[in-house]
Structure 1
């Protein structure tokens, strides 16, 4: 699900995902270039939901990202995300992303870029993004600001999420976000509920359910959508 962009892959991207999912490699006072962590994820989504728009159906995707600590408090992450919408008329997509993550007091700061490559449809673009995150009690708050230099368009996203444990190996993640295109058009209000399940020390399974409600001009082109998905993530 490419609501990765700041919500947890939400950090799940910059989907993502936002939102980039940058995983610190190792803890410790000293950091070296050898301290590298990696994640491999595969997933299925009933709908490819991206910033108030449906880009396809029956989405199969995979993601590989690598992260390392450059210095105390500064992490670097790079990765690739490949999407194959098998229905709904969507085309294949390869995203190549990189980002830096640090903390300023109680606020996390993410600065990164994503190159969107469309092997079939063309129209490749390059986007830069800034993500800010903080907490208010049990609620995590996020702000994402993105600018596509090829489309010459901006996108803004505000999100809130929280999580609580059901068992030692199962939790519930609840999130919501609202987007805005170019500062004058709301895109959609999106709610998600996920149940990440810890399989091993390095593997997790994450089913989720989401609802997207288009706003403003997006109501004319996109219907309210209930979508769901499942992903498997393995860390190294």
Structure 2
């Protein structure tokens, strides 16, 4: 009798512990609320480059930079009606040549190294069409330092309107842009390709290559007769460059440190083409127009 009573008691307890719906766990008495999304959608970066190469033109050595960028979703419809999404992307960048090691006046006078700093402000509307993304943007360049002054470099600030497109051909990402600087009267076009090769869950290798073409390119150096006398562009004529500028190719090695931080070392080669090679520059610059192997590293953190 005692054994039967014990078995009945165990059977009752097992029945009471069984969920009402098979395969589901009973709801907790005090459920924990999900954590709010604390991602602000802002990325911060710090970087070092052994050379500052901008559109194929080698401005100098030891470039230190910092930046912020973000994206604001304006319209969303990809998950609802297939209309795609529209975002406003923005960025702020600042950089300078550490030690003022420019590639323009150092060869002529080692004691007259020219400082150079640049501030960039950019914004663009980006729409995802599904098969590709298109962008329409504006960018402002504020050039500072001795390189921008009369009888040295005499650089203007720049203001650009740009059109861009990105797409994917299998594993290869393709991007292209057209940039019109109406202040300096120049057009610049580029075409780039890259692919991502995963090595581990945290490490990837990204081969990339870019080719540029300039029309009336001047890299924001003033070329009018009054201001270019004695400066970097003393031998330039107005509207010098309407040709291919350079081919740049290299490897990036993104390393995911945690869920928010990524370290990106890279190595690249910049090979100037006739558009840059044929530019005369006053004095004896180091290697503004010669091929150079360079590299660097950046730390990117998402907030």
- Whether TM-score is above 0.5 comes out as yes
In 1, Cα distance between the equivalents of 2:39 and 2:73?
7
Aligned partner (choices 199, 203, 225) of residue 166 of structure 1: 199
Aligned 8 A contact 1:158 1:178 in 2 = yes
In 1, Cα distance between the equivalents of 2:190 and 2:182?
18
The residue that corresponds to 2:297 in the other structure is: 230
Which of the pair has more CA radius of gyration?
2
Aligned 8 A contact 2:156 2:184 in 1 = no
Worse-matched range after superposition: 190-199 or 119-128: 119-128
The residue that corresponds to 2:97 in the other structure is: 85
Aligned partner (choices 64, 68, 74) of residue 70 of structure 1: 74
Aligned 8 A contact 2:139 2:161 in 1 = yes
Q: What do residues 38-72 of structure 1 show as CA deviations (whole Å, max 9, x unaligned)?
A: 01000000000011201121000000112210111
- Give unmatched runs, 5+ long, in structure 1: 1-33
The size of the alignment, in residue pairs, is 203
The residue that corresponds to 2:56 in the other structure is: 52
In 2, Cα distance between the equivalents of 1:138 and 1:234?
26
Aligned 8 A contact 1:35 1:69 in 2 = no
Aligned 8 A contact 1:55 1:90 in 2 = no
Change (3 A) 1:162 1:137: same
1:20-169 → structure 2 map (5 Å cutoff): 36-72=40-76, 73-86=85-98, 87-88=101-102, 89-120=114-145, 121=148, 123-169=156-202
In 2, Cα distance between the equivalents of 1:128 and 1:217?
22
In 1, Cα distance between the equivalents of 2:87 and 2:39?
11
Name the one with the larger strand percent: 1
In 2, Cα distance between the equivalents of 1:216 and 1:135?
30
